[in-house]
Structure 1
Amino acid sequence: MQPYDVLVVDDSFFMRKLITDFISEDPQLRVVATAKNGKEAVELVRKLKPQAVTMDIEMPEMNGLDALRHIMKENPVPVIMLSSLTQEGAAETIRALEWGAFDFVGKPSGSISLDLHKVKKMLLEKLRAAVTTNMSRHCKPLKLEAAPAAPAEREVAAARQENAAPVSFSPAEAASSFEHLVAIGTSTGGPRALHTVLSGIPQHFPAPVLIVQHMPPNFTKSLAVRLNSISGLRVVEAEEGMVLENSTAYIAPGGFHMTVARNGSKGYKIHLTKDEPRGGHRPSVDVLFESLLPLKELKRHIVIMTGMGSDGAKGMQALERAGAMTTIAESEETCIVYGMPRSAVQLGCVTDVLPQQDIATRLKQAVAMRPQ
């Protein structure tokens, strides 16, 4: 079989050589060309039409974010961002994922900062998934804001969302008093999918929303900040002992499993652990879902969206058998990678298979108990 063509983009000769050497070790892949800035990358994608691109962010003439936007608009192709592990690098990476990047890998910068073998393994795994993805169907622009919205602006945005799909909720109940709970698991393609879903949930949503997104530390914090700016919900990175409240989304921090437990007579609280990774993941979707099994007094609504592998499928199956009210899998047509949802569908535990843009509406219907 002919290997898939990959374009390597980085302003550092050392990094171009290193990444090229990584890719050359996989017989399914070959480096068709390299570029030292975003301008060259855009031209080479147009000319060579590679099946995937690795893209640095900080480059002269045209940076990686601007190059990504041009590529997604003109010649959509899976792009894997090479991101620094700084807070600034994390924020830029989240924006790149919103703008259509397939995924990202922490950028190696020497033996003292990262295990190069681990970076190579992750990069090749993601490239193998990327080269078979049709990005043209996933490139509809998101409605993006340039900076985090103030609370008043988020209220206006939430009102607009409710006008588009009217479901009204009363904020009269105490914040920690609720009978519904939503849990979402996702991986590759997740930040963009979460943007779509959370921007469609209104401000006074009468349930907490628990989210596991496979990401390392720093990146989950930046993801929470970004999603908080576009959602009517309050979106936070979860912390140990946080008491669950209505109208709040909690993102599991990178490097920690997130579980939920009863908090005496005061509702429910979050517990974070450094237990062994599950299926290679920490946080793990299955770990979160399994922690909800004893909470049968709550109406549980479970969602699995785009991602490689099968994390969350067995947990969803267990919850469905334990009486979860709603189990939603994102449909293949909108998944960047139809792995995790497919696994849940194959287990026969899914009540709804929905495109990404319909998941928020279904959750509003389920929590509001509106007739279908």
Structure 2
Amino acid sequence: MAIKVLVVDDSSFFRRRVSEIINQEPTLEVIDTAKNGREAVDMAARLKPDVITMDIEMPVLDGISAVREIMASTPTPVLMFSSLTHQGATATLEALEAGALDFIPKKFEDIARDKEQAVEMLQQRVKALARRRVFASRPAKAPASSTSDASNRLSSARPALKSSAKAKPVVASAIAPSKPVSFKRSGKSYDMLAIGTSTGGPVALQKVLTELPANFPLPILLIQHMPSTFTSAFAARLNNLCKIKVKEAQDGDPIERGVAYLAPGGKQMLVEGRGAQARIRIVLGNDKVNYKPCVDITFASVAKLYKNKTLAIVLTGMGADGREGGKLLKQAGATIWAQDEKTCVVYGMPQAMANAGLSSESLPLEHVAKRIMTELT
């Protein structure tokens, strides 16, 4: 049976274009389209699609508000379309916090080598999300005012981020709660924590990092597959929400404990130096590398410098990025953990680590931060 998709966009041209691409894949079927968020909420309840593709800027009800309502009433995997701008990044991150599982640039050819790869990428994203079950949130407070002007909604997104540190919204989740567990420290000592992730990563990283204390004893390297215009907004968001400091990494940054360095989109993050002289290196890298930033490249650099003093974690993500770098980390004596299948949005990258025998533990997302702190204290 084909995967049922609802396409939501206020542009008739874009609705038609996305529908044509999705319907090219025999296992996918667009069952209907909606031109605004209100129609999307109603159709989600009536048609029960397997996946919804959602624009952000729309009349009547914008995409972020529509996601909130859908997750509260008819939880469904949502793929957001976003503009590659800082404003688009801010709005997309808010949509992910509202319950959307993934995003893709509206001009998705911008992150693909050619048209054929762009088409395949969209189809693969839809199929990946269709495999995930989404659990309903508790009823969330309605926005202070419902806007019929999406541009006004988006322009207010940045101020909303500032207040989110005080009261985080309860959002729909792709995971079911796991049973309480206790962990035991291995006895190893560490100088670096490195975390790699892709699809579903923004929400997963927020979950983990917001639970770490201000006096966290290690520097943290974050490698999230994300466009270049998104990483500065994402780092600022995390820094606003977390007790630790989070920043977009810059070339020459000293590596300090209690600071998380997010690899900038479109570039590669390396480490060099020793002890107090350790520094971040940001380079353009090889154009033939599929991912910028690439988990493999950062992991390989960390393996060379920090060796068995590294704790590496691979969270939710499509593909196998991190596996080759993970092999080098393993050879150097590093400890590697992976997120478990049940709590991943896409069990690709963690599965690649597990299947290669690189990860020693498989952890539910909600236990990752606790496991880290148990290991380090």
TM-score between the two structures when normalised by the length of structure 2? 0.83
Task: State the secondary structure of the residue aligned to 2:272.
Answer: strand
Structure 2 residue 286 is the aligned partner of structure 1 residue 271: no
Distance 1:27 1:297, change over 3 A: closer
1:342 CA drift (Å): 0.9
Unaligned runs of 5+ in 2: 142-158, 168-188
State the percentage of identical aligned residues.
41
* Structure 1 residues 84-103: aligned runs within 5 Å: 84-103=83-102
Determine the C-alpha separation between the residues in 2 that align with 1:338 and 1:115. 26
CA contact (8 A) 1:328 1:352 kept: yes
> Which residue in the other structure is 2:129 paired with?
130
Unaligned runs of 5+ in 1: 155-177
Corresponding letter in the other structure for 2:223: V
> Which residue in the other structure is 2:181 paired with?
none
Determine the C-alpha separation between the residues in 1 that align with 2:350 and 2:36. 36
> Which residue in the other structure is 1:251 paired with?
262
1:284 to 285, 294, 307: 294
1:334 to 340, 343, 355: 343
1:110 CA drift (Å): 10
Determine the C-alpha separation between the residues in 1 that align with 2:348 and 2:208. 19
1:321 CA drift (Å): 2.4
* Structure 1 residues 340-359: aligned runs within 5 Å: 340-359=349-368
Structure 2 residue 161 is the aligned partner of structure 1 residue 147: yes
CA contact (8 A) 1:81 1:101 kept: yes
1:148 CA drift (Å): 2.8
1:193 CA drift (Å): 0.4
Determine the C-alpha separation between the residues in 1 that align with 2:327 and 2:84. 35
What does the per-residue CA deviation read over 1:85-118, in whole Å, with 9 as the maximum and x for residues that have no partner?
111011111111222212111113999xx97555
Distance 1:241 1:103, change over 3 A: same
Task: State the secondary structure of the residue aligned to 1:221.
Answer: helix
CA contact (8 A) 2:308 2:332 kept: no
Distance 1:223 1:322, change over 3 A: same
> Which residue in the other structure is 2:192 paired with?
181
Q: How many residues in Structure 1 have an aligned counterpart in Structure 2? A: 338
CA contact (8 A) 2:191 2:306 kept: no
CA contact (8 A) 2:84 2:227 kept: no
CA contact (8 A) 2:211 2:369 kept: yes
Relative to structure 2, which stretch is displaced further, 74-83 or 185-194? 74-83
Corresponding letter in the other structure for 1:262: G
CA contact (8 A) 2:192 2:306 kept: no
Distance 1:4 1:296, change over 3 A: closer
Structure 2 residue 220 is the aligned partner of structure 1 residue 198: no
> Which residue in the other structure is 1:299 paired with?
309
Task: State the secondary structure of the residue aligned to 1:148.
Answer: helix
Determine the C-alpha separation between the residues in 2 that align with 1:281 and 1:110. 15
Distance 1:349 1:115, change over 3 A: closer
Structure 2 residue 58 is the aligned partner of structure 1 residue 47: no
1:361 CA drift (Å): 1.3
> Which residue in the other structure is 2:145 paired with?
none
Distance 1:361 1:19, change over 3 A: same
